[in-house]
Amino acid sequence: MREGDLHALIAAANARLPKGVMIPPGDDMAQVAIAGGSVLIACDQVIEGRHFVPNTPIELIARKAIARNVSDVAAMAGRPLACLCAATLPSDLPESAVRALTAALQRHAEDFGCPLVGGDTSWHGEPGHPLQLSITILALPHASGRVVRRDQAKDGDAVMVSGALGGSFGADGLGRHLRFEPRVRLARELVDRFGDELGAMIDVSDGLGRDLDRMACASGVAIHIEGDRIPLHEGCSIDQALRDGEDHELAFTLRADAAKGLPAIMAGVPLSVIGGVRAASDVHPAGARVFLAGAWHAMGSMGWEHGPSVGA
């Protein structure tokens, strides 16, 4: 079963969820009502051999495990609150490495404002099995109460992306996917400045192509991207930007009038207008398309999809 099929299977049960589930499965985080407010919740994991290569420094493994969850918080314009870690450890992992991993997880969680408050540990029964870390993160909505979702893009919106994209994995398996900075501050400033003029937003984790297509389909709109406007890391191609994933930048939409006042940099992060949103129709079906080499291309398959025999 492919990841998209599994997500659809899970979402098929959304109607059975209690009314206190304000945002069900299908976004970067769920939102659940609690006494006096609500909490945002998400879970993500890193697995040796899929999300990081063997012999990656323990410090960087721990940082990525925490940071990719914090990036989901940024996508909802939330504020990190706390996290938990369920760790499955190789049976032959030295005690010194276990101690270093524990300390690194605690330190990075504190640095990102989501202290590690619990979890679970287990060991594989035999040597040679991969290290796996599963992080559950809790967050609070923006102080205004606004929770930015991926289903809020509208006809006429401009489409933006933060930072630059492509080449997150180096040839040696290291690279920016281990050191990216979650855009929590940028997301907060976007809501502060634009309020309800900020439309949809998503964490670019599986490739700009696939993630923009998810946002378009969730919103029921057509997103059209101009390939030559996509900001690239030095030495990267547009194809890498569309497909590589693990950039953990923010892709978002702004209502047309608000987009005219978008600064080139916010929270120290460059912002680029890369396209626009149209109402879905027979001519422009819901989904994302990119204009490259004189032709339009569907973006839904441009990126990673987890599943058997599928890339990370």
Measured distance CA(84)–CA(196) in Å, rounded: 32
| pLDDT tier, 12 (very low <50, low <70, confident <90, very high otherwise) | confident
What is the architecture of the domain spanning 158-298?
Answer: Alpha-Beta Complex (3.90)
Rg for the chain, CA atoms, rounded: 19
pLDDT of residue 308: 54
Contacts with 111 (C-beta within 8 Å, 6 or more apart), sequence order: none
pLDDT of residue 4: 74
The string of pLDDT tens digits covering residues 78-128 is: 999 999 999 999 999 999 999 999 999 999 999 999 999 999 999 998 888
- Judged against a pLDDT cut of 50, whether residue 278 lies above it is answered with yes
Map out the domains of the chain as residue ranges.
3-140, 158-298
Candidates 3.40.190.10, 3.30.1330.10, 1.10.490.10, 3.40.225.10; CATH matching 3-140: 3.30.1330.10
- Alpha carbon separation from 124 to 59, 127, 240 (Å, rounded): 21, 7, 35
Q: 256 and 157 in contact (C-beta within 8 Å)?
A: yes
pLDDT of residue 127: 83
Measured distance CA(255)–CA(153) in Å, rounded: 8
Q: What is the mean pLDDT of the chain?
A: 94
Contacts with 71 (C-beta within 8 Å, 6 or more apart), sequence order: 180, 182, 183, 203, 205, 248
Whether 3-140 shares its CATH topology with 158-298 is answered no
Q: 79 and 139 in contact (C-beta within 8 Å)?
A: yes
pLDDT of residue 309: 44
- Mean local confidence (pLDDT), 241-254: 96
Report the percentage of the chain scoring pLDDT > 90.
89
- Tokens of residue 278, six digits: 């149209």
| pLDDT tier, 271 (very low <50, low <70, confident <90, very high otherwise) | very high
- Judged against a pLDDT cut of 70, whether residue 154 lies above it is answered with yes
- Tokens of residue 143, six digits: 């102080």
The string of pLDDT tens digits covering residues 42-90 is: 999 999 999 999 999 999 999 999 999 999 999 999 999 999 999 999 9
